[in-house]
Structure formats: C-alpha cells, structure tokens
Structure 1
Amino acid sequence: MNQKNAWSPLILSALAGACIGLTVLLIQEKHKTTSDSYSTSVQIATPSVVNIYTQVIQQKGLNDLDTAKHSINLGSGVIVTKDGFILTNHHVIQNAQSIVIALHDDRRIKAQLIGSDPSTDLAVLKIPHLNLPSIKMGDSSKVSVGDRILAIGNPFGIGQTVTAGIISAKGRNSIGLNTYENFLQTDAAINPGNSGGALVNLKGELIGISSAIYSSSGGSQGIGFATPVDDAMEVMTDIIQYGEVIRGYLGMEAQKITPLLADNLSLPSNHGLLVNDITKESPAEKAGIEVGDIILEINNTPSEDPFQIRRFIASLKPGTHISLVGIRGLQSYQTNITLEKQPAMQRINY
C-alpha cells in the first residue's frame, strides 16, 4: 500500500507530461497546417473583390449608328466602403457607356462612375447598396520586400481567382505606365482581367490595387505591378470630394545629373537635377527658373530623383510655398515658389 502511494505521484507526473507534450504537438501541427494554407486570408478578402463588366460602343462611321459595335470589357474592383465606393483602374472603365458590378454573391448592380485619374490609372465607382462587404485596410508603408501576398481578381473573365506570391520590390517609379508611379512589384500571377483587383497581405488586408503586368506575351511572367493602397486612398478621397485629383504644379522638366553627364557637359555639380524645359506662364517661369539651371534642394531636401520630385510636387496642394536652391553658371541662388493647380491633361512632369 505504501509502495503504491509512493509511485502514484510519479505516474501522475508522467501522465501530465505526456498530456502536455501531446497538446504541444497538436498545437504545432495545427499551426503548421494553418501556415501552409491561405484559406483564412481568402475568406476575409474575397467577398470585397468584385468583377467589373463594361460596355463600350465603337462607332465605325461618323453618321452611321447602325454600324456601331458593342464590346464587353472585363476587369476587377475592390469595395472600399460599406456604402458602396469601389476602387478600380482607369483603363478598366475608360470609354465605358455602362458599368455593371458582379458581387461575390452573384448579384449584378449597375455602377456610377464618380471620377477617374489617368495619371495614376485609378477610378472610383459607386453602387447604391448599404452594408456591403468592404475590405479591411492595410498599410502599404509597412510592406516589406519578401512579404507573402495574394492577388485576387477576375483574369480572362473566368471568375474570381486567387494567386500567391511575394513583394518583389517597392517604389518602382520608372516603368513608363503612368505619370505618377510608386508601384509595388509582385511575382503573384496577374493577368488581363486582374486589373483593379486586390493585392492583400496574409491578414486579408488590402495593400494594393493590381494595375499592370510586364510581359512580352500578354500573359503573366512573374512581374506584376500594384498601386499601394495608401496612394490609392489619397486619390479616392480627392475624387470623392472634388471629382478630380487636385495636384500642385511647378511647370518644369528635369533630369538626374550623373557624374558622366556632369563631365560631358562640364557642369559645376555632379549631383542634383538639370532643368531641360520650362513651361510658359508656369510657377517655375514666374520664379525665374531657367533651362540649364541645376536644382540642388527643394524644401531643404536634396533633389536627385526626378520621379520622387514629380510625386512630391504633385502631392502638395495649389497655393503651397516651396523653397528651391539651385545653381546658374557658377552662382548659387535660393528662391521661393507658390505652386498652382496642375492644368488638365498637363504633360509636364512637375
């Protein structure tokens, strides 16, 4: 009896240890299974991603309406608010005579175009329904190269499709697709029809709007681009409030100065921006900036990347005062400039 009592604590301890070990193994296995699947992320995000069908009328003759051709274009969009605002690409709805949204639950609703911004290839639509499944918002500034992501859209019109990949690069700004570029690059398969769809993190949060692919064949080759959600929301806010995006305007073009360029042109500086065009009656001309000037700083920040400066000026509102430091010949100068509103269809970079 005494011997049995002496062994009981040891047996109970062993059993408890075995139970704890088994529990740990079960938890680890469950975590492993979860980490190998994107199903939770997909379930969170997909109800907010819609298919977009647009009808475009292409008239063959000037006065013969009977020869007009109707074509249906396909794309994707993301429900951003519960009251029906949808983000998509400008090229998805460009020249559309009518726009129909196909929701995740198979409802089809006619959409109103609130406005679009060709310079960033973004557009805002509105459907008249409340309590829609709006997507959870992520923070694209916290996205890192190597993060796993999902692309959700309607490639080739076959229906909602999910592809997986990683963030391959950030801040791509010289692709030549839009006037203002700050793309997230991904290797997740993005194909025609994905345009305007969602790029989400593994929490199911929106981090970008799929915009374009880099391809020699027209299909996915592992290089896709998405507009960061932070940028897209700024554009959406302006479109909803003003009907357009209000941007600052300086009115000059410039190129980056490299040591080779500085040597070939005998420039007094091997860094900065070389001004190569000034628009007449622009703020830059009014401030006395001239072709051939070298811009060293804008608002006390070195100006060496023309794409970043273009986006910076555009991010400011008309009436904003900026400080500019430059060189003309061998003489340095400083001037203050008041930005104006960017003219419609303005092709100048700044």
Structure 2
Amino acid sequence: MKLLQKLTLVLATIGMGIWHGYAGAQAETESVRVLPASEGQVMLSYAPVVKGVAPAVVNIYTKKIVRSRRSAMFDDPLFQRFFGDNFSFGSPKERVQGSLGSGVVVRENGVIVTNNHVVEGADEIRVVLADRREFDAEVVLTDPRTDIAILKIDVGDAPLPTIKIADSEDVQVGDIVLAIGNPFGVGQTVTSGIVSATARTQQGISDFGFFIQTDAAVNPGNSGGALVGMHGDLLGINTAIYSRTGASNGIGFAIPANMVKSVLRAALNEGQLTRPWLGIKGQSVTNELAQGLGLDRAGGVLIDAVYPGSPAESAGLMSGDVIMAVAGKEVVDEGGLNFRIATLENGESVSVVVLSGGMLKEDQVVLALPPEDPARDLTKLDGRHPFQGVSIANLSPRFNDELQIDPFLKGVVVLELEDRTPAARWQFLLPGDILLSLNGMSIRSVADVAGALEEDAAEYVYQFQRRGRVRQCQIVPNGSFRCADVR
C-alpha cells in the first residue's frame, strides 16, 4: 500500500476533521448548492443583494506631490562654480499626481478597508460615499505585506451602512459573486461572476499570497472594492487583475475576508500589526521532494529548521517533518501555510498535522508572537570614522519579520546611510548588509560596533554578509577601499 494511502487511513482515526480538504472530503455541515428548478428561479435578480451592500462601498480619491528629478549636470561642481549653488534653472519641479480606487465600510463609525496600494504615499485621501457625501480620511494602519489599509472618516453620530465580513473558508469554486467598485472612475459599478478558484498562491501580489480568483469583471479603480456573496456578506477585497492590457480578462484576485479580519483586528485593538509565528524555516514540497519523501504527489511544507524556544519546538516539531494541515485545512505550499498562521491570533492553540518519520501525527501548537531578543537598539553611529551616519540595529525574529528577511538571521543589520557621509558617497556598506566583524572584533550586537569604533584607527577592516555572500573590506587612510569575497 502506498504511503499516502496509509496516511489517509491514519488520518481517519485522528478525528477532529484534520484532513478536511486533503482527501477531497466535504464537511456535512456545508450549505447545499442547488440548480434553479423553475423559470421563476432562473429569472431571479441580484438587485436585493446589491441594494443591501452597495451603500457600504465607497470611492477613494488620492493626491500626492511628486517631485521630478533634475539632471545631474546641475549638481556638477564645475557647473556650480560658474552659476552658484542657488541657480534655479533645472531645479526639481512639483506636480500633483492623482489616483482612484474603492473601499468598503466595515464599521458604522466610519472604518473603511481598502488596498494599501490605493493610498500608499498619498498626501490627501478623499472618500466619497454612495450618497455622494465626501470626507477626508486618515490612515489607521497599512500593511504592505497583505496589500490592506484601514482608513477612518469622521461622520459624526450618524451610523454608516456596513457589510458583514464572512468566513472566507466557506467560499467554494462555482459560487456566484459580485464585484463592486469604481472602475476607471466612472462611478459605482457592479459586475457578476463566479469563484474561479480558491487558495490561489504564488501570484506575487503580496507576501501572503492566498487569493480568491473570480471571473467577475475587475478593472483599474476596482482595487479595494468588495467581492460579495449571495448572502450579502464580504468574501474578499478586490486587489488585482491578470491582464496584459490593464483591462479585465476574466481573471481577478481578491484578498480573502479572513485576512482582512486579522488586519482589522490589529488596527482596532492593538494599533500595530504583529503576526503570530510557528518558528520554522521551510520550503514547499515539490514533485521532486515528494518522491524523496515517499509521497505520490506534491503538497505540504518541509521543515528545514526550527527556532529554539519557538512554538514549533515546544510542540515537538522537528527538522525533516512535513506540515500537511493546519487547523483542519490542507497546506499545499509555503504561501498557504503563512496565510493560515497569519489569520490566527496570538496565544491560540491550533492543530497541526505533520508527516514525521514516515508516520502521520497531530500536534497542538500554541502560537506566540516572534520574540524581540535582543532588543533592536536602533542607533545612528557618530564620531570621526568612516561609519559616521550609518544607522544599525540588532536583528531578532520580530524585527526580522518587520524587515521581511529570514527570521533566523542574527547580528547587526545596516538600516540606512545618512546623506553626504563617507558611507553614502562610497557605498562601502548598503542597507540590508549584516556586519560580522570590525577591526578584529566579532560583531554580535550594536554595542559591539560602538566598542570597536571607540578608538581611532589608521585603517578599518570589516566583514559583512550581503544576500548570502560574505565579503571583507578594508578602508585605507587615503579614503579608498577594497573588498573581496570571503566565501
């Protein structure tokens, strides 16, 4: 008997519906879908659904000041010698750039969900309600990693119409959906279609790639608008289309409502977004890996490493285990796993099914926030040395998550270089570099860097890691530097 068949038999004995979806079984509690049984049913209209939800979908107009870059010729010392530093010709010019999108009112007091890319960098955000009232909006929270932003408008004591947020896990392929937004700025528009696919990953739209795909017409301006079901509830936030021309080709993507809930919860309760973690480093199980693991198909996430003291280690997960399901839902790849964990809460106990040593087992993992140990200690270096104006910080799982880098990286990271400093001019360090040693001292913390720079030196020799490569550089007294790969 093939290993996968054995695993399926074991799963049947685990209980709690852990293998929900993996073997294709459907829960008995799901609502029944039926075809129209009469002409009257065929002639039914979507109008009652639209009437209930359309007032909660808003138009969003943004403005930002864009400065055009002037030619580098005007910064040339020879040019300035003749014309002076204050020569105005060719100076940067400002222009107003406008954009449009849509949003969904989710709280009666004026809380609105939209896409982050709709409001990113905006100097002015204007919200126009379905009844044509207009309000200035403030940004409560933005999350570029999910492309979600939470806005707030002040509407006084009068409650606004809202849309109830659904459980997006109930969405099925073939369900009828409506997309509501402001395409091309023509005004509120409703299009219909079906759910073409669920759990679409690897689309490159956000870090937590896990989308509802629909063939309802979604066009520029629909971003941030509502994808609603036939019960009038919010299934997702329309975020992108797949098109070579910029117009709808029948492939649109929406951020699932469960992810919207997690960002909204952070915006209204915590005020900042910190997601729980398992504490693992893993990779999607491809067909090649599946063959090596004895599986007859790809699926799951192979654990490469477990962070010490993490929820995964506390639950007994080990390197070499394959995560097959989380909270009763199949895990197809790493993106799907990240989505499942990101939608859960800190302190929540979640069931995780893993393939370990050829056997299938279920573990309970109590999720926690990634630790900030050591503290980040944000520091701008100062003093008479080439590293003046370099901002650095200590890495930790939590800070790494904010920086969107490997959570297992440790040490001191370069954050930015102050303008008109040696580091900015010579580029002997770049943001993202991790310092390893400086003048013979091993660097493990910001304090180590400060200690290594306490005394003046004739030259500075340091090692750093950049995109997995380790380099050693030497800054010599004449101000030049040379570097070579170490490994």
Both proteins in one fold, TM over 0.5: yes
Change (3 A) 1:71 1:315: same
**2:375 paired with 1:347:** no
Is 1:40 the counterpart of 2:98? The answer is no
CA distance in structure 2 between the partners assigned to 1:347 and 1:311 by the alignment? 17
Which structure has greater helix proportion? 1
Paired position in structure 1 for 2:120: 94
Q: CA deviation at 1:231?
A: 2.5
Cα 1:152–1:258, aligned 2, differ >3 Å: closer, same or farther?
closer
CA change 1:77–1:292 in 2 (3 A) is same
Report the 3-state secondary structure (helix = DSSP H, G, I; strand = E; otherwise coil) of the residue aligned with 2:199: strand
Q: Which residue number corresponds to residue 18 of structure 1?
A: none
Question: Tell me, what secondary structure is at the counterpart of 1:111?
Answer: strand
Tell me the equivalent position of 1:208: 236
Contact kept, 8 Å, 1:83 with 1:131, in 2: the verdict is yes
Helix, strand or coil: the match of 1:235? helix
CA separation of 1:97/1:278 partners in 2, compared to 1, >3 Å: closer, same or farther?
Answer: farther
List gaps (5 residues or longer) in structure 2: 1-37, 71-85, 358-362, 371-397, 409-487
Partner of 1:52: helix, strand, or coil? strand
Per-residue Cα deviation, 1:192-222 (whole angstroms, up to 9, x for no partner): 1000001112343322211111112211100
Identity of aligned residues (%): 38
Correspondence for 2:209: 181
Question: Alpha-carbon deviation of 1:338?
Answer: 7.2
* Superposed displacement of residue 146, structure 1: 1.3
Q: CA distance change for structure 1 residues 162 and 326 in 2, over 3 Å: closer, same or farther?
A: closer
Contact 1:251–1:348 (CA under 8 A) maintained in structure 2: no
* Aligned-pair Cα RMSD in Å: 3.8
CA shift, 1:296, in A, is: 5.1
Q: In the alignment, does 2:149 pair up with 1:123?
A: yes
AA aligned to 2:147 is D
Quick one: structure 1 residues 139 and 326, their matched pair in 2 at CA, closer, same or farther if it must change by over 3 Å?
closer
Q: Secondary structure at the match of 1:344?
A: helix
| 2:211 maps to amino acid | F
Q: Give me the TM-score of the superposition, normalised by structure 2.
A: 0.55
| Structure 1 residue 114, shift from structure 2 partner | 0.5
TM-score (norm 1): 0.75
- Measured after TM superposition, the shift of residue 299 of structure 1 is 7.7
Higher relative contact order structure (alpha carbons within 8 Å, sequence separation ≥ 6):
1
Matched, 1:144 2:172: yes
Alignment size in residue pairs: 314
Could you tell me how far 1:124 is from its partner in structure 2? Answer: 0.7
- 1:56-71 matches, within 5 Å, as 56-61=64-69, 67-71=93-97
Q: Does 2:178 correspond to 1:133?
A: no
Question: Does structure 1 residue 78 correspond to structure 2 residue 104?
Answer: yes
Question: Could you tell me which amino acid in structure 1 is paired with residue 404 of structure 2?
Answer: Q
- C-alpha distance 296-92 of structure 1, shift in aligned 2 (>3 A): closer
Give 3-state SS (helix, strand or coil) of 2:402's partner. coil
User: Is the alpha carbon distance of 1:164 and 1:70 closer, same or farther for their aligned partners in structure 2, counting shifts above 3 Å?
Assistant: same
